Amino acid sequence: MLRNKAIGFLGMALASTMAVACSSGRDVEVTGSVAAPAGVAPSGPITLSFLDVVGDDDTPESVAETKLDTVGEFKQTVTVEGDTVRVRAIVDSDGNGACTAGELWAESDAAVKDDDTVAPVTLTLGTTPCPAGT
């Protein structure tokens, strides 16, 4: 009985180690700033979403989200598998958790560099139509 438990424990430990070893995700530091056009003041917190862009045909996967009280700088570490991080900012004025027509928003793609950082991302909020699926 003890031997079966030891073998079971060893199998679980090995499977856990293999799952970690097989993951191609890496921690990436994303820095940047969110700005608003002159004369435009966001009416509420700004939701920043970080998406992992793995391939052209894949739908980017949300890997982190944070909020800013106002326009300004941000710094976030995210775990991604792809070579691109999409950063999206939305002033969710109606509180529905998505980009709604007329709300301020912006997004930008940033390539992951060899040192697991991206060039600083600059997002300027605007009212162009929201992207599909936000």
DSSP designation for 120: P
Q: Is 24 helix (H, G, I), strand (E, B) or coil?
A: coil
CA atoms of 24 and 22, how far apart (whole Å): 6
Tell whether pTM > 0.85. Answer: no
For the chain, the farthest-separated pair of C-alpha atoms sits apart, in whole angstroms, at 74
DSSP per-residue string spanning 112-128: PPTTSB-PPEEEE-B-S
Beta bridge partners of 73: 33
For 70-87, write each residue's pLDDT tens digit: 999 999 999 999 999 999
Give pLDDT tens digits for 90-132.
998 888 888 888 899 999 999 999 999 999 999 999 988 887 7
CB 36 within 8 A of CB 116: no
Higher pLDDT, 55 or 88: 88
How far is 56 from 33, CA to CA, in rounded Å?
26
> Which parts of the chain fold into alpha helices (H)?
2-22
Residue 79 CA to residue 99 CA, distance in Å, equals: 24
Band the pLDDT of 28: cuts 50, 70, 90.
Answer: very high
User: Quick one: pLDDT band at residue 23, thresholds 50, 70, 90?
Assistant: low
Q: Considering the chain, what is the average pLDDT of its residues? A: 83
- Which domains are assigned to the chain? 25-124 (2.60.40.1120)
